[in-house]
Copies of this chain bind each other. A is one copy, B any other.
Amino acid sequence: MATIRDVAQRAGVAVSTVSRFLNKNINLPEKTEQKIIRAIDELNFSPNKVARSLVSKKSEILVVVVPDISSPFFSHVVKDIEKSAHKDGFNVILCDTDNNLDKEREQINSLRNSFIAGYILVGAIDDVNDPCGDILKNMQEKGEPVVLIDRHNSDNTFPQVIHDKYLATLMATEHLIRLGHRQIGFITGDLRVYSALNALKGFKAAMANISKNESDMIVVEGGFDLDKGIRSTEMLLQKHPQVTGLVVFSELALIGAYNKLMEMGISIPQDISLIGIGETDLAKIVQPPLTTVGFDFAKTGELAYRQLKNLIVGKSMDERNITLKPEIFIRSSTRFLD
């Protein structure tokens, strides 16, 4: 690999001149510029990022932390972040924490001496009980650019993008209520996750209109994968065979619930109306297509990146907290209860 020294030597100028040229700091005379260009070309030189990073104390590297990249929502968000970031010349380091906050800690800490330009952290399990407070606090003190997506954000410390899961679950549940359902079950996500907790609140708020005390409400703690959806559905139906409507948090668990109902020979929506929180292709594709309350998460990644970018360049933002509102997609898995 040729260095800036080699280029300078070959062009017959000083390294600083080449450096200036590279950083377009100044208008050099046509003549020297040509010499430099030629030398760079002949040597096939390109400046070393690491050396550059060492002196400038920054890099063009972003870190994106997700609980599970193989989950459709997260992989879409990451894709959009990467796409936006790439346009600005940033590269993205992906950290998959496997829903393990210790791993998250470790990963972030191991990167903290690499002049990372900024971080985007996506909601993780146990976020509610232990919002990585120590690390985040430290990052804040150090002034490191951090943006949060669907994450517990005490004291509103960091800019964030939030999907209003409270409202989404409220809407979903109210939809069933409007259709005449009274015996409505809710399969939550892992309640140590910020947005899952909010969803539960939304469910309770909606149910409060038709049910006097909370203890009557039919709630089973679920999770974010297919398997959890299957098992939770089974459990819920066993304990509460009277349900006519089912609200399921998270896309994958919804598909799990769908699968379980089909397997049990329970007809959707004849026997049970099924509605999910979160929108994916999957919900549209199964038969019958599933009614969902979802978000246009094509925007999430880009919005989060934009926030981060503003943070990095020190530009003030119009709004530090972006809350995305849900939309209901009525398909064929819910019916009027006569």
Contact = CB atoms under 8 A, between A and B. Distances in A.
A127 interface: no
Of A98, A103, A281, most B-chain CB atoms within 10 Å: A281
A72 B69 contact: no
A86 interface: yes
Given A69-B82, A83-B98, A107-B86, A49 B114 contact: yes
B96 A93 contact: no
Contact of A54 (B51, B112, B281): B51
Interface stretch (A73-81, A159-167, A312-320): A73-81
Interface of A is mostly: helix
A75 B69 contact: yes
Interface in A251-293: 255-256, 258-259, 262, 281-282, 284-287
Contact of A93 (B53, B61, B259): B61
A92 interface: yes
Contact of A78 (B69, B72, B256): B69
A9 interface: no
A47 interface: yes
Contacts of A209: none
A211 interface: no
Contacts of A68: 79
A18 B293 CA distance: 57
The number of chain A residues touching the other chain, given as a range, is 35 or more
A46 interface: yes
A112 B46 contact: yes
A254 to B, nearest CB: 11
Given A113-B47, A286-B285, A76 B70 contact: yes
Nearest to A256: B285
Interface string A96-121: 10100001000101111111000000
B75 A70 contact: yes
Contacts of A15: none
A95 interface: yes
B82 A96 contact: yes
Nearest to A53: B50
Interface string A148-192: 000000000000000000000000000000000000000000000
Contacts of A140: none
A103 to B, nearest CB: 8
Interface string A22-65: 00000000000000000000000011111101100001010000
A259 B287 CA distance: 8
Contacts of A51: 54
A281 B255 CA distance: 10
A284 B255 CA distance: 11
Those 7 A-B pairs whose CB atoms lie nearest each other, nearest first? A75-B75, A94-B94, A49-B114, A70-B79, A48-B113, A70-B75, A259-B285
Given A50-B115, A61-B93, A69-B75, 18 more contacts: A46-B112, A48-B113, A48-B114, A49-B111, A69-B69, A69-B78, A70-B72, A82-B96, A83-B98, A86-B95, A86-B103, A86-B107, A89-B110, A92-B93, A255-B285, A256-B285, A286-B287, A287-B287
